[in-house]
């Protein structure tokens, strides 16, 4: 049976950088994210006895051989769990540039996992779906549950999973993704994380994350946006400090990134409560409350070097939809 899933990208406020187990993609720390309404992947999967090999296609783009290999590994895990041997056809489409540090692999593996099991008629609990998505790409587990999501690092395959902390309707905030470079990042997150232990700052980061997780959840409980924004920025800078002090060092920012970071400071001084966070790429996520969206969008128009702006509200998690891609 053919099934199609739509899964959001997610933006982490407390970020994941580094694994305790590379094969199982167990993270070194807990993380916390929000699903993005404007950046998502749609994937159709069909398993059939009539297929003689797995076929994987990306509409509007091309997968590398390595990406195809990772998708087929994901299909193998789904086949193993469901106890079937049929080959599959997978067609997928992203609403945003792949590889530009905007979590295409997260939405991609979340959509593949949900559509894959659904197309085999397997009913898998949400927690287990997050575990299968994690095995494809760590942060993909956070794109399965609704809204604001915590990924518990756990200590083995069964205990490292994601769960919804608040539904998407809980808090009217915005993540305005400002794209300054659509190209693939030079060093993938998988590769970049391999040398994380060479950073002298890793141990202080790992000690800082648990109290930061508690503090951000308290700020979210109180809907204290300023505190929430301060903690998010602090964690972003902390993760990039680790990246930049690894051997070899990883610099994901460019000039436009740094210009936006300093613009954010001056906008705050002009009483616009806006905070930034940045993943493994040069693009900047700007966070504000719903009431300040229009003002922020006006300010973004004054920035140089912006290629595209993607406006996101908190979104639901991965869902089955009825329109197929083939």
Which positions lie near ligand PMV, rule CB under 6 A? Answer: 12, 15-17, 31, 105-106, 137-139, 189-190, 279-280
State which residue, 120 or 131, has the beta carbon closest to ligand PMV: 131
State which residue, 31 or 168, has the beta carbon closest to ligand PMV: 31
State which residue, 89 or 98, has the beta carbon closest to ligand PMV: 98
State which residue, 89 or 185, has the beta carbon closest to ligand PMV: 185
State which residue, 17 or 267, has the beta carbon closest to ligand PMV: 17
Query: What is the number of other CB atoms lying within 10 angstroms of the CB of residue 169?
Result: 11
- As measured in angstroms, the least distance from the Cβ of 280 to ligand PMV is 4
- As measured in angstroms, the least distance from the Cβ of 28 to ligand PMV is 11
- 230-235's contacts with Cβ under 8 Å and 24+ in sequence apart are 230/275, 231/13, 231/14, 232/13, 232/14, 232/275, 232/277, 232/287, 233/275, 233/276, 233/277, 235/13, 235/14, 235/15, 235/209, 235/277
Exposure string over 77-88, b if 16+ CB within 10 A, otherwise e = ebbeebeeebbb
- As measured in angstroms, the least distance from the Cβ of 50 to ligand PMV is 34
Pairing of strands 319-321, 2-14: antiparallel
- As measured in angstroms, the least distance from the Cβ of 119 to ligand PMV is 24
- As measured in angstroms, the least distance from the Cβ of 84 to ligand PMV is 27
Query: What is the number of other CB atoms lying within 10 angstroms of the CB of residue 185?
Result: 20
Q: Which residues contact 55 (CB under 8 A, 6 or more apart)?
A: 87, 88, 89, 90
């Amino acid at each position: 049976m053919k099934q199609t899933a739509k899964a959001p990208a997610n933006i982490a406020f407390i970020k994941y950088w580094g694994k305790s187990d590379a094969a199982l993609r167990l993270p070194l720390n807990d993380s916390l994210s929000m699903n993005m309404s404007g950046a998502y992947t749609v994937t159709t999967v069909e398993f059939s006895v009539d297929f003689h090999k797995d076929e994987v296609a990306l509409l509007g783009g091309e997968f590398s051989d390595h990406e195809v290999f990772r998708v087929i590994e994901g299909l193998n895990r789904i086949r193993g769990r469901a106890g079937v041997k049929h080959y599959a056809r997978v067609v997928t489409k992203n609403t945003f540039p792949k590889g530009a540090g905007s979590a295409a692999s997260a939405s991609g593996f979340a959509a593949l996992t949900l559509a894959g099991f659904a197309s085999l008629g397997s009913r898998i609990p949400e927690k287990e779906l997050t575990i299968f998505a994690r095995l494809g790409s760590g942060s993909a587990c956070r794109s399965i549950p609704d809204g604001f999501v915590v990924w518990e690092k756990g200590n083995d395959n069964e205990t490292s999973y994601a769960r919804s902390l608040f539904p998407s309707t809980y808090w009217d905030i915005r993540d305005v993704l400002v794209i300054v470079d659509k190209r693939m990042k030079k060093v993938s997150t998988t590769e970049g994380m391999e040398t994380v232990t060479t950073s002298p700052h890793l141990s202080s980061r790992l000690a800082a994350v648990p109290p930061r997780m508690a503090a951000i959840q308290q700020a979210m409980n109180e809907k204290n946006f300023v505190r929430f924004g301060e903690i998010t920025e602090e964690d972003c800078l902390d993760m990039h400090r680790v990246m930049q002090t690894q051997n070899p060092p990883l610099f994901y920012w460019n000039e436009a990134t740094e210009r936006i970071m300093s613009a954010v400071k001056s906008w705050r001084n002009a009483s616009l409560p806006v905070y930034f966070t940045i993943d493994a790429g040069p693009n900047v996520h700007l966070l504000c409350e719903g009431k300040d969206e229009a003002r922020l969008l006006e300010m973004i128009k004054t920035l140089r070097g912006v290629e595209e702006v993607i406006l996101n509200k908190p979104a639901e998690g991965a869902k089955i939809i009825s329109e197929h891609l083939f």
